[in-house]
Structure 1
Amino acid sequence: MTALVRLRVTPAVVAVTAAAGALLGTGIVSVPCWFHAMTGFDCPFCGGSRALGALLHGDVLGALRFNAFAVLVLLPAALVALVLLGRTELGLRIPSWPVRRSALIVLAVAAVAWWLVRDVAVPGLQV
Structure 2
Amino acid sequence: MRARLRRARAHPAAPPLGALAAGAAAAAYLYRTDPHRPGQWLLYCPFRWLTGLDCPTCGATRMVYDLMHGDLAAAFHDNAALLLLGVPAGLWLGWRWLREGLRGRRYRPSPRRATLVTALTLTVLWGIGRNVVG
TM-score by length of 2: 0.69
CA 1:25 to 1:113, structure 2 compared with 1: closer, same or farther past 3 Å? farther
Note the C-alpha offset of 1:96: 6.4
Tell me, yes or no, if structure 1 residue 32 matches structure 2 residue 38.
no
Could you say which structure has the greater relative contact order, defined with CA pairs below 8 angstroms and 6 or more residues apart? 2
CA 1:83 to 1:71, structure 2 compared with 1: closer, same or farther past 3 Å? same
- How far apart, CA to CA, are the structure 1 residues paired with 2:123 and 2:32? 24
What letter matches 2:26 in structure 1? A
Match for residue 3 of structure 1? none
Match for residue 97 of structure 1? 110
Note the C-alpha offset of 1:54: 0.5
SS for the counterpart of 2:79 is helix
Q: Which runs of 4+ in 1 moved over 6 A?
A: none
- How far apart, CA to CA, are the structure 1 residues paired with 2:50 and 2:126? 19
- How far apart, CA to CA, are the structure 1 residues paired with 2:58 and 2:17? 28
Q: 2:97 aligns with which of 58, 81, 85?
A: 85
- How far apart, CA to CA, are the structure 2 residues paired with 1:14 and 1:105? 28
Q: How large is the RMSD of aligned CA atoms in angstroms?
A: 2.7
Identity %: 33
Note the C-alpha offset of 1:112: 0.9
Tell me, yes or no, if structure 1 residue 16 matches structure 2 residue 22.
yes
- How far apart, CA to CA, are the structure 1 residues paired with 2:14 and 2:108? 21
CA 1:38 to 1:61, structure 2 compared with 1: closer, same or farther past 3 Å? same
- How far apart, CA to CA, are the structure 1 residues paired with 2:66 and 2:126? 20
Tell me, yes or no, if structure 1 residue 66 matches structure 2 residue 78.
yes
Which protein is bigger by CA-based radius of gyration? Answer: 2
Deviates further, 72-81 or 36-45: 72-81
